[in-house]
Structure formats: structure tokens, C-alpha cells
Amino acid sequence: MANKEQLFKYKGNKCACCGISIIEMVERYGTFNRMLEFNHINPDDKDPEYSNIIRRVLSTKQLDEVDKCVLLCRNCHGILHAQNINAEWEITANVDGQKATQRFKGQAIVDLKKNHFTFLTNERMLLNPYHVIIGASKPRTLFGIQLETESLLMSFLKDIDKSKTIKIFFWGTQKIAMEAEYICGRDIILKHDISFSGFKSELMENKGDSPAIWIRNGIALTKEGEIKKSGTVTYNMELIV
Ligand SMILES: [Zn+2]
């Protein structure tokens, strides 16, 4: 049986629309049982086996399924289906004179009394800016969308035998987000902060085992039911790019 509390924490532990949290539900009603539900943003993406997948132990398939969803309380979930509004939202970020745009697909809930529109999407925000230093070059500002969807991160890693190092810093705090160091051949050491969402990985205790830790969307989940949002992961790896 999957640890639903772990999946709820992974999805923010609260309704993505009205914001009521599990803590508040327990304080008010003594339970959160039957009060939160996963809603598929694109119902066509829902696996026909969804109800079985979600009941099983934590797995890649289960997380892939939950990644298609937003977490909603029953009330907001009901309103969302009753209003049935599909929406797209384009956001442009402007940092250090550089711009990046991301278009999100989602669903919306409208509160006519408050004149309030809530946009809900399962898509990951890729407009976080970073300072990137390749080898001895000067720092450049790049957005997550450039690193990931324009495959810049992959191309930097591909050429690490020439640059020797790649350092990526969170733009605001200047804390290290990712660091890669060339060893020899195609071997590198790669370290990244769990909150740096440029990587999706699964760690096994022994070769051939099912994963013991999943790292994705800036969060680490363990098969024991834990959730971690900070910390560093280090891999000794061979590049196959
Ligand atoms: Zn709600």
C-alpha cells in the first residue's frame, strides 16, 4: 500500500486551489481522510490502471502518474470539474536584462464573487534563473528552461572534457545548485542540491533492485516514506551523452 501521506507531502501537502493544508484539516476535523484528491490536469493522460497504480508501493510509475496531477481538496476538485475550464498561461521572466518565456497548460477555477481566477497546472516552473560558470569562463545568467528544454545542460556536460568544470549557482542566494568535475575518459563527479530540479534520478541499493530513493522536481522520496527537500547528492558517473 502506498504511503499516501508521502505522496501528499510530495505534492505540497495542501489543496493547490484554496490552500487548506493537511495540518489545518487535522486541527479542524481531526482527520484528513477522504478530503484530498489527485486531479489529472489532462484527463487523457490518466493511466487506465490509475486506481491500482496509486494503491501500490511507491514506484516510478506511481510518481509519473502523480506528476500529471495537482492535489485538491474535495470541494475545489468538485468545482473544477463542474466549471470545466481549460486554460493556458504564458509567463515571461526578466533577469539581468535577459528574458525567458514559458507557456503552461492547465485548468482554472473562477470565483465570480471575489473576481478571482486560480490557474492550476502540473507543469514544472522552469523560469528560475541561475548563474552558470563553464570552466574558467565568466558567469552567465541562464534560466532553467534554457538548461533543460534547450538541452544546454546536456551540451555543457558533453563538453566537460574540455571545460573540466561546470558550476551552476542559484541566482538569488548564490548557493551552489550543481557542480560537475571531469575525472578522465567519460567519468565525472556530479553533485547537485536536491532542490535543483534539473535532474530526475533513481538510486538503487544494489544493481537490479527496485529504487530506494527517487529524486525529481526538487524533492527526494525514499521507499521508507520520507521526503527531503534539501541536501546534496553526489554521483560518480560515466557520461553516455
Ligand atoms: Zn481546496
Cell of 239: 557520461
- Predicted pLDDT of residue 206: 84
CA distance 147 to 199: 11
Answer yes or no: is pLDDT of 239 > 90: no
Residue 25, H or E segment: helix 22-29
Q: What is the mean pLDDT of residues 63-79?
A: 97
Amino acid 161 reads D
Cell of 232: 546534496
Dist. CA 95 → ligand 1 center (Å): 33
Dist. CA 80 → ligand 1 center (Å): 10
Dist. CA 105 → ligand 1 center (Å): 20
What pLDDT digit, counting tens, does each position of 168-184 carry?
Answer: 999 999 999 999 999 99
Answer yes or no: is pLDDT of 152 > 70: yes
What pLDDT digit, counting tens, does each position of 88-137 carry?
Answer: 999 999 998 999 999 999 999 999 999 999 999 999 999 999 999 999 99
Average pLDDT, the chain: 94
Dist. CA 145 → ligand 1 center (Å): 29
- Predicted pLDDT of residue 1: 42
Which of 83, 63, 87, 67 has the alpha carbon at shortest distance from 75? Answer: 83
- Predicted pLDDT of residue 149: 84
Any idea where the domains of the chain sit in the sequence? 1-122, 129-238
Answer yes or no: is pLDDT of 63 > 50: yes
**ipTM score assigned to the predicted complex:** 0.99
